[in-house]
Amino acid sequence: MRHNLARARSCAPSAKIWGVVKANAYGHGLERGMRGFADADGLALIETEAALRLRELGWTRPVLLLEGIFDVADIGLLCEYGFNSTVHCLEQIKMLEYTQLQSPIDVHLKMNTGMNRLGFLPAEYAAAHARLRAIPGIRNITLMTHFANADELEHPRLAIREQVRRFQLGAQGLVGERSLSNSGGVLQQAELAAELSNDWVRPGIMLYGGTPGNKSAADYKLRPTMTLASAIIGMQQLVAGDTVGYGSRFEASGPMTVGVVACGYADGYPRHAPHGTPVLVDGVRTSLIGRVSMDMMTVDLTPIANARVGSSVVLWGDGLPIDEVATAAGTIGYELMCALAARVRVFEGPLGQPA
């Protein structure tokens, strides 16, 4: 985590970094994220409970709520704990107008530059900014937007440059720091240095050794922060015509050895991962066969000469990029990390010290 954060810094050397730790630090555990990103300038997340937890754990630097307040009752938390709140809609502005702020707060005003999820349109933005500035107790207003396709330099529908153009139009003449880039933007910083001169960047996935696009984490010199590992707990010898698992979806075309891995969809491994999804057994690449079940999956042990019960298995992470597994399973590394189940035992460090 420290290494990847340093990579983000070297991509955007003049920007301050919000380390994004939403969704339980992308499945890594909030506290682990907080420790790993101790050098970040602030931590950003969605959940107010987790923001409180950061304060309890001793995080004294800025905390940004990426969706802001959900309810009037959240405003007290902003004041009491000094959370920086995203403001993305009129309803949130009204809540802030009607509530006496007990102490000054900072906010991020979000512009919708084409993502069409949250934020004010460029044409509405200055008016929203003026309304916020008129509220006593609102201190700094950071100008913010979010990219739809930051992983591609030239997206045919909505290029990052076009979103930047709209942002600059809507933010023209407004004072305040700028916050634009997610991981995709941070990783494009070299190509778009002028357009993406941010005061703040908001990397998430790259801090966990994943990438938002098609390039590999290794291309960006990012290191995996999560390895999902297990072991072979059983073996079967098949002959031609034998099938494996629920639905008997896999049929052996000749003699082969099947290994049973103690990991299934109840651990967060995607059930829809198809035959051929890569797996490492004793460090050797092989593939998933048959259907993933709740607590087990089956792999082809033919390429692994000395495979035995107890052989180590890596499902993703060290030696097997999570993005590659995600692509094979028709999803993204983000989803795999976030879906890691609570029952998975967590170890820390390269050789696995119990957490």
Largest alpha-carbon pair distance within the chain? 77
**Which backbone phi and psi does 353 adopt, to 5 degrees?**
-90, 135
| In the complex, minimum distance from the CB of residue 45 to ligand PLP, in angstroms, rounded to a whole number | 9
DSSP strand pairing (138-145 vs 105-111): parallel
Closer by beta carbon to ligand PLP, 229 or else 322: 322
Closer by beta carbon to ligand PLP, 176 or else 278: 176
The residues facing 17 across adjacent strands are 201
Three-state DSSP class for residue 133: helix
Closer by beta carbon to ligand PLP, 182 or else 198: 182
Please give the residue whose beta carbon sits closest to ligand PLP in the complex. 204
Determine the Cα angle at 345 with ends 56 and 353, to 5°.
80
| In the complex, minimum distance from the CB of residue 263 to ligand PLP, in angstroms, rounded to a whole number | 25
What is the C-alpha separation between 208 and 5, in angstroms, rounded? 9
| In the complex, minimum distance from the CB of residue 340 to ligand PLP, in angstroms, rounded to a whole number | 16
215 is catalytic: no
From the list 110, 125, 246, 334, the catalytic residue is 246
Three-state DSSP class for residue 29: coil
Where along the sequence are the contacts to ligand PLP (CB under 6 A)? 20, 22, 66, 146, 182-184, 202-205, 212
From the list 16, 22, 26, 125, the catalytic residue is 22
The number of CA neighbours under 13 Å toward the Cβ of 263 is 25
CA 45 to chain centre: 11
What is the C-alpha separation between 1 and 223, in angstroms, rounded? 8
What is the C-alpha separation between 259 and 302, in angstroms, rounded? 9
- Write out the two tokens for 2: 């420290």
| In the complex, minimum distance from the CB of residue 115 to ligand PLP, in angstroms, rounded to a whole number | 9
What is the C-alpha separation between 126 and 16, in angstroms, rounded? 24
Closer by beta carbon to ligand PLP, 21 or else 313: 21
Closer by beta carbon to ligand PLP, 68 or else 259: 68
Three-state DSSP class for residue 338: helix
| In the complex, minimum distance from the CB of residue 280 to ligand PLP, in angstroms, rounded to a whole number | 25
Closer by beta carbon to ligand PLP, 200 or else 265: 200
What is the C-alpha separation between 24 and 83, in angstroms, rounded? 18
What is the C-alpha separation between 327 and 332, in angstroms, rounded? 6
220 is catalytic: no
Q: How many CB atoms lie within 10 A of CB 72?
A: 13
| In the complex, minimum distance from the CB of residue 243 to ligand PLP, in angstroms, rounded to a whole number | 40
Catalytic residues: 22, 246
